[in-house]
Structure 1
Amino acid sequence: MPSNACPQCQRQPKHPDYRFCSVACGQSAARSAPELKYLYPHHELSVMIATQFMQCWSIGPKPMVLAVYTITWTESSQRSFKQYRDAVEVRGQFKRNGCFPGNEQKRFRSTVRACTLGEGANVSPCYNEACWMCETIRCGFEPHLQRKRSVPLNGPGIRLGAGIYTSHSSSKAALYAENRHDPESRIKAMLVCRVVIGKPFVTCQEDPTIRSPPLGYDCVYGEPGDHSAFREDEYVVYNADAIRAAYLVLYDTAPGA
Protein backbone atom coordinates (compact mmCIF):
# COMPACT_ATOMS: atom_id res chain seq x y z
CA MET A 1 0.00 0.00 0.00
CA PRO A 2 1.38 3.48 -0.87
CA SER A 3 2.83 5.46 2.02
CA ASN A 4 0.45 8.31 1.18
CA ALA A 5 -2.73 6.28 0.59
CA CYS A 6 -6.06 7.95 1.31
CA PRO A 7 -7.21 6.72 4.77
CA GLN A 8 -10.78 6.36 3.46
CA CYS A 9 -10.50 4.42 0.19
CA GLN A 10 -6.91 3.21 0.81
CA ARG A 11 -6.33 3.14 -2.96
CA GLN A 12 -5.61 6.61 -4.29
CA PRO A 13 -2.84 8.88 -2.95
CA LYS A 14 -4.17 11.41 -0.50
CA HIS A 15 -4.22 15.06 -1.52
CA PRO A 16 -0.96 16.84 -0.53
CA ASP A 17 -2.84 19.33 1.66
CA TYR A 18 -5.74 17.13 2.74
CA ARG A 19 -6.18 13.87 4.64
CA PHE A 20 -8.18 12.25 1.86
CA CYS A 21 -7.70 11.83 -1.89
CA SER A 22 -10.77 13.78 -2.95
CA VAL A 23 -13.83 15.70 -1.82
CA ALA A 24 -15.88 12.55 -2.43
CA CYS A 25 -13.75 10.47 -0.05
CA GLY A 26 -13.86 13.24 2.53
CA GLN A 27 -17.63 13.36 2.33
CA SER A 28 -17.82 9.57 2.62
CA ALA A 29 -15.67 9.70 5.77
CA ALA A 30 -17.84 12.47 7.21
CA ARG A 31 -21.03 10.46 6.75
CA SER A 32 -19.75 7.68 9.02
CA ALA A 33 -17.91 9.99 11.40
CA PRO A 34 -16.72 10.02 14.02
CA GLU A 35 -14.56 6.93 13.85
CA LEU A 36 -10.92 5.90 13.78
CA LYS A 37 -9.08 5.13 10.54
CA TYR A 38 -6.00 3.00 11.05
CA LEU A 39 -2.80 4.36 9.51
CA TYR A 40 -0.20 1.76 8.57
CA PRO A 41 3.18 2.37 10.26
CA HIS A 42 4.82 3.43 6.98
CA HIS A 43 2.02 5.88 6.11
CA GLU A 44 3.34 9.44 5.98
CA LEU A 45 0.70 10.69 8.43
CA SER A 46 1.53 7.88 10.87
CA VAL A 47 5.24 8.61 10.59
CA MET A 48 4.64 12.34 11.14
CA ILE A 49 2.48 11.84 14.26
CA ALA A 50 4.64 9.07 15.76
CA THR A 51 7.78 11.15 15.22
CA GLN A 52 6.26 14.20 16.89
CA PHE A 53 5.04 12.04 19.78
CA MET A 54 8.52 10.58 20.39
CA GLN A 55 10.46 13.81 19.87
CA CYS A 56 8.20 15.69 22.28
CA TRP A 57 8.54 13.09 25.06
CA SER A 58 10.82 14.76 27.61
CA ILE A 59 10.05 13.15 31.00
CA GLY A 60 11.07 9.61 31.93
CA PRO A 61 11.58 6.54 29.73
CA LYS A 62 10.14 6.78 26.25
CA PRO A 63 7.22 4.48 25.42
CA MET A 64 6.66 2.55 22.20
CA VAL A 65 4.09 3.70 19.65
CA LEU A 66 1.82 0.76 18.82
CA ALA A 67 -0.65 2.38 16.42
CA VAL A 68 -1.72 5.71 14.99
CA TYR A 69 -5.26 6.47 13.83
CA THR A 70 -6.73 9.48 12.13
CA ILE A 71 -10.10 10.60 13.53
CA THR A 72 -12.85 11.52 11.09
CA TRP A 73 -15.14 14.49 11.70
CA THR A 74 -18.74 15.12 10.77
CA GLU A 75 -19.46 17.90 8.30
CA SER A 76 -20.88 20.09 11.06
CA SER A 77 -17.74 19.59 13.18
CA GLN A 78 -15.54 20.49 10.22
CA ARG A 79 -17.63 23.55 9.44
CA SER A 80 -17.69 25.01 12.97
CA PHE A 81 -13.95 24.49 13.42
CA LYS A 82 -13.18 26.17 10.09
CA GLN A 83 -15.52 29.08 10.85
CA TYR A 84 -13.80 29.70 14.18
CA ARG A 85 -10.32 29.38 12.64
CA ASP A 86 -11.20 31.73 9.78
CA ALA A 87 -12.52 34.33 12.23
CA VAL A 88 -9.28 34.17 14.22
CA GLU A 89 -7.28 34.38 10.99
CA VAL A 90 -9.09 37.50 9.85
CA ARG A 91 -8.30 39.22 13.16
CA GLY A 92 -4.68 38.13 13.32
CA GLN A 93 -3.62 37.77 9.67
CA PHE A 94 -1.29 34.93 10.65
CA LYS A 95 -0.70 33.83 7.06
CA ARG A 96 1.44 36.91 6.54
CA ASN A 97 3.78 35.61 9.22
CA GLY A 98 4.19 32.22 7.53
CA CYS A 99 1.87 30.43 9.99
CA PHE A 100 -1.00 28.09 9.30
CA PRO A 101 -4.39 29.86 9.18
CA GLY A 102 -5.32 31.02 12.67
CA ASN A 103 -1.90 29.88 13.86
CA GLU A 104 -3.28 26.32 13.98
CA GLN A 105 -0.94 23.83 15.66
CA LYS A 106 -0.95 20.20 16.75
CA ARG A 107 -0.94 19.66 20.49
CA PHE A 108 -1.20 16.62 22.77
CA ARG A 109 -3.98 15.85 25.20
CA SER A 110 -4.89 12.84 27.36
CA THR A 111 -7.96 12.02 29.40
CA VAL A 112 -9.91 9.11 30.89
CA ARG A 113 -10.47 6.07 28.66
CA ALA A 114 -12.97 3.53 29.97
CA CYS A 115 -12.86 1.16 27.00
CA THR A 116 -10.35 -0.45 24.63
CA LEU A 117 -10.70 2.10 21.83
CA GLY A 118 -7.75 1.76 19.47
CA GLU A 119 -6.90 -1.77 20.56
CA GLY A 120 -7.46 -4.66 18.16
CA ALA A 121 -10.35 -3.93 15.84
CA ASN A 122 -12.07 -1.46 18.18
CA VAL A 123 -12.32 1.73 16.13
CA SER A 124 -15.77 3.00 17.16
CA PRO A 125 -16.15 5.36 20.15
CA CYS A 126 -18.18 3.90 23.00
CA TYR A 127 -21.12 5.46 24.85
CA ASN A 128 -19.90 4.80 28.39
CA GLU A 129 -20.45 8.01 30.36
CA ALA A 130 -17.19 7.38 32.21
CA CYS A 131 -15.18 7.33 28.97
CA TRP A 132 -14.25 10.94 28.40
CA MET A 133 -11.98 10.09 25.47
CA CYS A 134 -14.82 8.59 23.45
CA GLU A 135 -17.09 11.43 24.55
CA THR A 136 -14.59 13.92 23.14
CA ILE A 137 -14.33 12.07 19.83
CA ARG A 138 -18.12 11.77 19.50
CA CYS A 139 -19.25 15.12 20.88
CA GLY A 140 -16.26 17.46 20.75
CA PHE A 141 -14.97 19.40 23.74
CA GLU A 142 -18.12 21.21 24.87
CA PRO A 143 -19.05 18.57 27.52
CA HIS A 144 -15.52 18.77 28.94
CA LEU A 145 -15.67 22.56 28.95
CA GLN A 146 -18.93 22.48 30.87
CA ARG A 147 -17.40 20.19 33.51
CA LYS A 148 -14.43 22.53 33.86
CA ARG A 149 -16.74 25.49 34.41
CA SER A 150 -18.35 23.67 37.33
CA VAL A 151 -15.03 23.10 39.15
CA PRO A 152 -14.65 25.41 42.20
CA LEU A 153 -11.78 27.90 42.12
CA ASN A 154 -9.82 25.85 44.64
CA GLY A 155 -10.51 22.62 42.76
CA PRO A 156 -8.10 20.53 40.65
CA GLY A 157 -7.21 20.99 37.00
CA ILE A 158 -7.89 24.71 36.58
CA ARG A 159 -4.46 26.29 37.01
CA LEU A 160 -5.35 28.56 34.10
CA GLY A 161 -9.09 28.54 34.60
CA ALA A 162 -11.99 26.72 33.02
CA GLY A 163 -10.56 25.83 29.63
CA ILE A 164 -9.35 22.98 27.44
CA TYR A 165 -5.72 22.14 28.17
CA THR A 166 -3.16 20.81 25.69
CA SER A 167 0.63 20.68 25.56
CA HIS A 168 3.49 20.53 23.09
CA SER A 169 4.97 17.86 25.38
CA SER A 170 3.60 14.35 24.88
CA SER A 171 5.07 13.25 28.22
CA LYS A 172 3.26 16.10 29.96
CA ALA A 173 -0.02 15.05 28.36
CA ALA A 174 0.63 11.41 29.29
CA LEU A 175 0.39 12.32 32.98
CA TYR A 176 -3.38 12.60 32.48
CA ALA A 177 -3.88 9.32 30.57
CA GLU A 178 -6.06 7.03 32.68
CA ASN A 179 -7.35 3.56 31.83
CA ARG A 180 -10.52 3.34 33.89
CA HIS A 181 -11.49 -0.04 32.38
CA ASP A 182 -8.14 -1.60 33.35
CA PRO A 183 -5.92 0.55 35.61
CA GLU A 184 -3.08 -1.97 35.38
CA SER A 185 -2.87 -1.98 31.60
CA ARG A 186 0.40 -0.76 30.06
CA ILE A 187 -1.44 0.25 26.89
CA LYS A 188 -2.61 3.85 26.87
CA ALA A 189 -4.08 6.25 24.35
CA MET A 190 -3.41 9.92 23.65
CA LEU A 191 -5.14 12.44 21.42
CA VAL A 192 -3.29 14.69 19.02
CA CYS A 193 -5.47 17.75 18.56
CA ARG A 194 -5.64 20.50 15.99
CA VAL A 195 -5.75 23.69 18.03
CA VAL A 196 -6.35 27.24 16.85
CA ILE A 197 -3.73 29.04 18.94
CA GLY A 198 -4.25 32.45 17.36
CA LYS A 199 -2.55 35.11 19.47
CA PRO A 200 -1.57 33.55 22.82
CA PHE A 201 -1.54 35.49 26.08
CA VAL A 202 1.72 34.43 27.76
CA THR A 203 1.86 34.01 31.52
CA CYS A 204 4.07 32.38 34.13
CA GLN A 205 1.46 32.63 36.88
CA GLU A 206 -1.51 30.45 37.71
CA ASP A 207 -4.96 32.03 37.64
CA PRO A 208 -7.94 29.69 38.23
CA THR A 209 -10.41 32.55 37.68
CA ILE A 210 -9.84 32.74 33.91
CA ARG A 211 -12.92 32.02 31.80
CA SER A 212 -11.70 33.48 28.51
CA PRO A 213 -8.45 34.96 27.16
CA PRO A 214 -7.78 38.65 27.78
CA LEU A 215 -9.18 41.03 25.16
CA GLY A 216 -7.19 40.77 21.94
CA TYR A 217 -5.95 37.23 22.61
CA ASP A 218 -7.23 33.81 21.55
CA CYS A 219 -5.71 31.43 24.13
CA VAL A 220 -3.57 31.42 27.26
CA TYR A 221 -0.07 29.98 27.18
CA GLY A 222 1.50 28.88 30.46
CA GLU A 223 5.18 29.39 29.67
CA PRO A 224 7.70 27.22 31.54
CA GLY A 225 10.87 28.71 32.97
CA ASP A 226 13.08 29.12 36.02
CA HIS A 227 10.67 31.53 37.69
CA SER A 228 7.46 30.12 36.26
CA ALA A 229 4.69 28.18 37.96
CA PHE A 230 4.76 25.83 34.97
CA ARG A 231 7.33 23.08 34.57
CA GLU A 232 6.16 22.40 31.02
CA ASP A 233 4.00 24.35 28.60
CA GLU A 234 0.22 24.57 28.81
CA TYR A 235 -1.93 25.84 25.95
CA VAL A 236 -5.48 26.58 27.04
CA VAL A 237 -8.41 27.49 24.80
CA TYR A 238 -11.82 28.47 26.14
CA ASN A 239 -13.99 27.91 23.07
CA ALA A 240 -14.87 24.33 22.12
CA ASP A 241 -14.67 25.23 18.41
CA ALA A 242 -10.99 26.13 18.79
CA ILE A 243 -9.94 22.49 19.07
CA ARG A 244 -10.65 19.12 17.48
CA ALA A 245 -9.26 15.63 18.19
CA ALA A 246 -7.45 14.74 14.94
CA TYR A 247 -5.38 11.62 15.73
CA LEU A 248 -5.20 8.92 18.36
CA VAL A 249 -1.86 7.42 19.39
CA LEU A 250 -1.86 4.04 21.11
CA TYR A 251 1.35 3.37 23.04
CA ASP A 252 3.01 0.88 25.40
CA THR A 253 4.24 2.59 28.56
CA ALA A 254 6.76 -0.18 29.38
CA PRO A 255 8.18 -1.62 26.16
CA GLY A 256 10.38 -4.64 26.72
CA ALA A 257 9.06 -5.20 30.24
Structure 2
Amino acid sequence: MISFHAQLVVKFSKKPQLLEQHQATKHAVTQLLDGDTGKNIVHIIFKTGWSCKEKSPEIHRILKIHNSPKILSRFEEYREFVKAKAARNSKRRDERCIADGNELLRFYCSTFMCDLGLNDQDSSICNQQYCSVCGVIKSGFSPKMDGISTLSTSWRAHTAIPEEIEEEFKFMNVKRAMLVCRVVAGRVGCELDEDVDKQDGGADSVLGRGGSGVHTRLDEQELLVFNPRAVLPCFVIVYTV
Protein backbone atom coordinates (compact mmCIF):
# COMPACT_ATOMS: atom_id res chain seq x y z
CA MET A 1 0.00 0.00 0.00
CA ILE A 2 1.40 3.38 -1.03
CA SER A 3 1.89 5.86 1.80
CA PHE A 4 0.29 9.31 1.75
CA HIS A 5 3.74 10.90 1.34
CA ALA A 6 4.48 8.67 -1.65
CA GLN A 7 1.14 9.58 -3.19
CA LEU A 8 2.04 13.26 -2.90
CA VAL A 9 5.42 12.67 -4.54
CA VAL A 10 3.76 10.90 -7.49
CA LYS A 11 1.10 13.60 -7.79
CA PHE A 12 3.57 16.48 -7.74
CA SER A 13 6.03 14.78 -10.10
CA LYS A 14 3.31 14.70 -12.76
CA LYS A 15 2.33 18.33 -12.25
CA PRO A 16 5.29 20.49 -11.06
CA GLN A 17 3.04 23.54 -10.77
CA LEU A 18 1.11 21.75 -8.02
CA LEU A 19 4.33 21.26 -6.04
CA GLU A 20 5.16 24.95 -6.40
CA GLN A 21 1.67 25.91 -5.27
CA HIS A 22 1.87 23.51 -2.33
CA GLN A 23 5.21 24.90 -1.18
CA ALA A 24 4.03 28.49 -1.65
CA THR A 25 0.99 28.01 0.59
CA LYS A 26 1.86 25.23 3.03
CA HIS A 27 5.55 25.96 3.65
CA ALA A 28 5.60 29.71 3.17
CA VAL A 29 7.00 30.86 6.52
CA THR A 30 8.98 29.60 9.49
CA GLN A 31 8.89 31.18 12.92
CA LEU A 32 12.33 32.12 14.22
CA LEU A 33 12.82 30.91 17.76
CA ASP A 34 14.58 32.50 20.72
CA GLY A 35 18.31 32.08 20.50
CA ASP A 36 18.27 32.12 16.70
CA THR A 37 20.94 34.54 15.46
CA GLY A 38 18.71 35.61 12.58
CA LYS A 39 15.90 36.48 14.97
CA ASN A 40 18.16 38.66 17.07
CA ILE A 41 19.40 40.54 14.01
CA VAL A 42 15.89 41.15 12.65
CA HIS A 43 14.75 42.21 16.13
CA ILE A 44 17.50 44.84 16.31
CA ILE A 45 16.82 46.09 12.78
CA PHE A 46 13.11 46.41 13.55
CA LYS A 47 13.60 48.30 16.83
CA THR A 48 16.10 50.75 15.31
CA GLY A 49 14.34 54.01 14.46
CA TRP A 50 11.79 53.98 17.28
CA SER A 51 12.60 56.93 19.49
CA CYS A 52 12.05 57.01 23.25
CA LYS A 53 9.23 59.49 22.70
CA GLU A 54 7.20 56.92 20.78
CA LYS A 55 5.39 53.91 22.19
CA SER A 56 7.66 50.90 22.19
CA PRO A 57 6.42 48.13 19.87
CA GLU A 58 5.91 44.65 21.27
CA ILE A 59 7.07 41.90 18.93
CA HIS A 60 4.93 38.77 19.08
CA ARG A 61 6.71 36.68 16.47
CA ILE A 62 9.22 36.95 13.65
CA LEU A 63 8.68 34.79 10.59
CA LYS A 64 11.17 33.98 7.86
CA ILE A 65 9.60 33.94 4.40
CA HIS A 66 10.42 31.06 2.05
CA ASN A 67 9.89 32.76 -1.28
CA SER A 68 8.88 30.51 -4.15
CA PRO A 69 11.47 29.89 -6.88
CA LYS A 70 9.25 31.90 -9.25
CA ILE A 71 9.20 35.02 -7.04
CA LEU A 72 12.92 34.73 -6.24
CA SER A 73 13.75 34.32 -9.93
CA ARG A 74 11.70 37.40 -10.87
CA PHE A 75 13.58 39.45 -8.29
CA GLU A 76 17.02 38.26 -9.41
CA GLU A 77 16.19 38.73 -13.09
CA TYR A 78 15.01 42.27 -12.45
CA ARG A 79 18.18 43.07 -10.50
CA GLU A 80 20.27 41.85 -13.46
CA PHE A 81 18.15 43.99 -15.79
CA VAL A 82 18.79 47.10 -13.67
CA LYS A 83 22.53 46.34 -13.50
CA ALA A 84 22.74 45.91 -17.26
CA LYS A 85 20.75 49.09 -17.91
CA ALA A 86 23.04 51.06 -15.62
CA ALA A 87 26.12 49.69 -17.37
CA ARG A 88 24.76 50.85 -20.73
CA ASN A 89 24.06 54.38 -19.48
CA SER A 90 26.99 56.45 -20.70
CA LYS A 91 25.54 59.76 -19.45
CA ARG A 92 25.19 58.76 -15.78
CA ARG A 93 27.54 56.02 -14.63
CA ASP A 94 26.25 54.71 -11.32
CA GLU A 95 28.71 52.20 -9.86
CA ARG A 96 26.30 51.08 -7.14
CA CYS A 97 23.61 50.25 -9.70
CA ILE A 98 26.12 48.41 -11.85
CA ALA A 99 27.36 46.40 -8.85
CA ASP A 100 24.09 45.21 -7.30
CA GLY A 101 21.23 47.26 -8.73
CA ASN A 102 21.47 49.63 -5.75
CA GLU A 103 19.95 47.00 -3.46
CA LEU A 104 18.66 48.28 -0.11
CA LEU A 105 16.97 46.93 3.01
CA ARG A 106 13.58 48.63 3.44
CA PHE A 107 10.35 48.25 5.40
CA TYR A 108 6.76 47.85 4.24
CA CYS A 109 3.86 47.83 6.70
CA SER A 110 0.69 45.95 5.82
CA THR A 111 -2.24 44.10 7.37
CA PHE A 112 -3.37 40.50 7.71
CA MET A 113 -6.51 38.74 8.93
CA CYS A 114 -5.48 35.16 9.71
CA ASP A 115 -3.37 33.45 12.40
CA LEU A 116 -0.18 33.66 10.37
CA GLY A 117 2.62 31.86 12.20
CA LEU A 118 0.67 31.72 15.47
CA ASN A 119 1.19 27.98 15.74
CA ASP A 120 4.88 27.06 15.72
CA GLN A 121 4.12 23.98 13.62
CA ASP A 122 1.96 25.83 11.08
CA SER A 123 3.95 27.38 8.25
CA SER A 124 1.06 27.93 5.87
CA ILE A 125 -0.60 31.09 4.59
CA CYS A 126 -4.30 31.71 4.04
CA ASN A 127 -6.31 32.43 0.89
CA GLN A 128 -8.50 35.20 2.27
CA GLN A 129 -9.03 37.93 -0.31
CA TYR A 130 -8.23 40.82 2.03
CA CYS A 131 -5.32 39.25 3.89
CA SER A 132 -2.68 41.47 2.33
CA VAL A 133 0.44 39.96 3.93
CA CYS A 134 -0.45 36.42 2.84
CA GLY A 135 -1.19 37.70 -0.66
CA VAL A 136 2.24 39.31 -0.92
CA ILE A 137 3.99 36.19 0.39
CA LYS A 138 2.13 33.96 -2.06
CA SER A 139 2.27 36.01 -5.26
CA GLY A 140 4.52 39.02 -4.65
CA PHE A 141 3.42 42.64 -4.90
CA SER A 142 0.62 43.39 -7.34
CA PRO A 143 1.56 45.03 -10.67
CA LYS A 144 -1.66 47.02 -10.33
CA MET A 145 -0.14 49.09 -7.52
CA ASP A 146 0.92 52.59 -8.51
CA GLY A 147 4.35 52.13 -7.00
CA ILE A 148 5.34 50.30 -3.82
CA SER A 149 6.05 52.55 -0.85
CA THR A 150 9.08 51.36 1.12
CA LEU A 151 10.46 53.13 4.19
CA SER A 152 13.89 53.39 5.76
CA THR A 153 12.80 52.37 9.28
CA SER A 154 10.01 50.27 10.74
CA TRP A 155 8.73 53.29 12.66
CA ARG A 156 8.31 55.30 9.46
CA ALA A 157 6.58 52.35 7.81
CA HIS A 158 4.34 51.93 10.87
CA THR A 159 3.19 55.54 10.72
CA ALA A 160 2.31 55.14 7.03
CA ILE A 161 -0.78 53.17 8.12
CA PRO A 162 -3.45 54.96 10.23
CA GLU A 163 -3.16 54.18 13.94
CA GLU A 164 -6.84 53.32 14.26
CA ILE A 165 -6.90 50.70 11.51
CA GLU A 166 -6.95 47.74 13.93
CA GLU A 167 -9.82 49.24 15.90
CA GLU A 168 -11.77 50.33 12.84
CA PHE A 169 -11.60 46.88 11.26
CA LYS A 170 -11.67 44.87 14.46
CA PHE A 171 -14.77 43.04 13.24
CA MET A 172 -12.65 41.61 10.41
CA ASN A 173 -9.81 40.61 12.77
CA VAL A 174 -7.42 42.97 10.99
CA LYS A 175 -3.91 43.14 12.45
CA ARG A 176 -0.76 44.79 11.20
CA ALA A 177 2.61 43.31 10.37
CA MET A 178 5.92 44.63 9.14
CA LEU A 179 7.66 43.20 6.09
CA VAL A 180 11.45 43.47 5.96
CA CYS A 181 12.33 43.59 2.28
CA ARG A 182 15.25 43.53 -0.09
CA VAL A 183 14.67 46.32 -2.60
CA VAL A 184 16.39 46.93 -5.92
CA ALA A 185 16.17 50.72 -5.93
CA GLY A 186 18.08 51.16 -9.17
CA ARG A 187 18.43 54.74 -10.26
CA VAL A 188 16.61 56.91 -7.71
CA GLY A 189 14.95 60.05 -9.02
CA CYS A 190 12.92 62.79 -7.42
CA GLU A 191 9.89 64.79 -8.48
CA LEU A 192 12.14 67.55 -9.82
CA ASP A 193 13.80 65.24 -12.33
CA GLU A 194 12.60 65.75 -15.88
CA ASP A 195 12.94 62.08 -16.80
CA VAL A 196 11.26 60.43 -13.85
CA ASP A 197 8.99 57.86 -15.44
CA LYS A 198 8.61 54.11 -15.75
CA GLN A 199 10.39 53.91 -19.07
CA ASP A 200 13.73 52.28 -19.70
CA GLY A 201 15.59 55.57 -19.80
CA GLY A 202 14.15 57.05 -16.62
CA ALA A 203 14.37 56.37 -12.91
CA ASP A 204 13.60 52.96 -11.39
CA SER A 205 12.30 54.47 -8.17
CA VAL A 206 11.53 57.91 -6.79
CA LEU A 207 11.71 59.68 -3.45
CA GLY A 208 8.25 60.09 -2.02
CA ARG A 209 6.89 62.19 0.85
CA GLY A 210 9.37 64.90 1.83
CA GLY A 211 11.81 63.70 -0.77
CA SER A 212 11.70 66.34 -3.48
CA GLY A 213 14.89 68.19 -2.48
CA VAL A 214 18.12 67.52 -4.32
CA HIS A 215 20.03 66.99 -1.06
CA THR A 216 17.49 64.62 0.49
CA ARG A 217 19.05 61.57 2.12
CA LEU A 218 17.62 58.31 0.85
CA ASP A 219 17.86 56.67 4.27
CA GLU A 220 15.48 59.26 5.72
CA GLN A 221 12.69 59.15 3.17
CA GLU A 222 9.97 57.13 1.54
CA LEU A 223 11.14 55.33 -1.58
CA LEU A 224 8.47 54.62 -4.18
CA VAL A 225 9.53 51.64 -6.28
CA PHE A 226 7.94 51.33 -9.72
CA ASN A 227 8.36 47.64 -10.51
CA PRO A 228 6.82 45.02 -8.16
CA ARG A 229 9.61 42.60 -9.05
CA ALA A 230 12.06 44.98 -7.34
CA VAL A 231 10.77 44.20 -3.84
CA LEU A 232 11.45 40.85 -2.18
CA PRO A 233 9.91 40.36 1.29
CA CYS A 234 12.24 38.32 3.53
CA PHE A 235 10.74 38.51 7.05
CA VAL A 236 7.35 39.19 8.61
CA ILE A 237 7.22 40.79 12.04
CA VAL A 238 3.91 40.54 13.88
CA TYR A 239 3.73 43.28 16.51
CA THR A 240 1.49 45.67 18.42
CA VAL A 241 2.06 49.17 19.74
For normalisation by structure 1, the TM-score amounts to: 0.66
Flag the 1:194–1:31 CA change in 2: closer, same or farther, 3 A.
farther
Contact 1:41/1:68 (CA < 8 Å) preserved in 2? no
Alignment partner of 1:126 is 2:126: yes
Which residue of structure 1 aligns with residue 34 of structure 2?
Answer: 41
Question: Quick one: percent identity of the two aligned structures?
Answer: 25
1:96-121 deviation line (CA, Å, top 9, x unaligned): 54996111112111123122213234
Q: Does 1:168 align with 2:161?
A: no
Give yes or no for contact 2:208–2:222 (8 Å, CA) kept in 1: yes
Aligned to 2:114, the other structure's residue is in SS state: coil
**Following the alignment from structure 2 to structure 1, what is the Cα–Cα distance between the partners of residues 49 and 203?**
26
Gaps spanning 5+ residues in structure 2: where? 1-18, 88-92
Q: Does 1:67 align with 2:61?
A: yes
Larger fraction in helix = 2
Any residues of structure 2 matched to 1:22-41 within 5 Å, and which?
32-33=23-24, 35-41=28-34
Whole-Å separation in 2 of the counterparts to 1:48 and 1:98? 26
- The corresponding residue for 1:77 is 71
CA distance in 1, matches of 2:77, 2:221: 27
The structure-2 alpha-carbon separation of the partners of 1:213 and 1:226, relative to structure 1 and needing over 3 Å to count, comes to: closer
Conserved? CA contact 2:211–2:221, under 8 Å: no
Deviation of the 1:223 alpha carbon: 6.2
Q: 1:116 to 1:99 in 2, by over 3 A?
A: farther
Match of 2:43 in 1: 50
Partner of 1:139: 139
- Mapping 1:104-123, distance limit 5 Å: 104-121=103-120, 122-123=122-123
User: Residue 66 and residue 29 in structure 1: after superposition, are their counterparts in 2 closer, same or farther (change >3 A)?
Assistant: farther
Instruction: Assess if the C-alpha contact under 8 Å between 1:71 and 1:248 holds in 2.
Output: yes
Contact 2:109 2:176 in 1 (8 A): no
| Aligned CA distance change for structure 1 residues 103 and 166 (closer, same or farther; 3 Å) | same
Q: Name the aligned partner's letter for residue 80 of structure 1.
A: R
CA distance in 1, matches of 2:158, 2:134: 17
Q: Which has the larger radius of gyration?
A: 2
Q: Equivalents in 2 of 1:38, 1:99: separation in Å?
A: 35
Partner of 1:21: none
CA shift, 1:188, in A, is: 3.7
Contact 2:105 2:182 survives alignment (8 Å) = yes
SS of 2:190's partner is strand
Task: Tell whether the 8 Å contact from 2:178 to 2:238 is kept in structure 1 after alignment.
Answer: yes
Q: Give the aligned length.
A: 203
Q: State the Cα distance separating 1:203 from its structure 2 match.
A: 4.1
**Superimposed CA distance per residue, residues 43-99 of structure 1 (whole angstroms, 9 cap, x where no aligned partner):** 222222111110123472121222211101111111111000011122335995499
Counterpart in 1 of 2:189?
Answer: 201
CA distance in 1: counterparts of 2:42 and 2:82, whole angstroms: 25
Alpha-carbon displacement from aligned partner over 1:140-188 (angstroms, at most 9, x marks no partner): 112xx41x4xxxxxxxxxxxxx211110121121132754874698964
| Aligned pair partner of 2:205 in 201, 211, 219 | 219
- Report the 3-state secondary structure (helix = DSSP H, G, I; strand = E; otherwise coil) of the residue aligned with 1:106: strand
Residues 1:236 and 2:224 aligned together: yes
Separation of aligned partners in 2, 1:181 and 1:114: 10
Q: RMSD of aligned C-alpha atoms?
A: 3.6
TM-score by length of 2: 0.70
The 3 A distance-change label for structure 1 pair 131 and 223 is closer
